[in-house]
Amino acid sequence: MARKKAVQPQTIEDVIALGNDAETFLTSPAFVLACDTLEEKYIYSWMGSAPDNADARENFYYSLKALSEIKLELQYMINGRKMANT
């Protein structure tokens, strides 16, 4: 199945709508709970990994980094909406 490519916002209204959607998603209880649960899971797994298991720690680090990047990208969309509204 082919992956559908995201469409970049073309108008101020598109930027505002995207920012609204991003804020709704970022603050939704389900997303917050999922992020908190994954973050806790990755941190505890990272801390509990065996001293000789650097590969596992590296994977947990990258998982935490990816989660952070997703939240940051959503925040950029919210900030774009705020700038478009000024």
pTM for this structure? 0.84
Q: What is the mean pLDDT of residues 14-25?
A: 95
Q: What pLDDT is recorded for position 6?
A: 80
What are the tens digits of pLDDT across the range 52-73? 999 999 999 999 999 999 999 9
Domain ranges of the chain: 12-84
> Which pLDDT does position 8 carry in this prediction?
85
Is 74 within 8 Å of 22 (Cβ atoms)?
A: yes
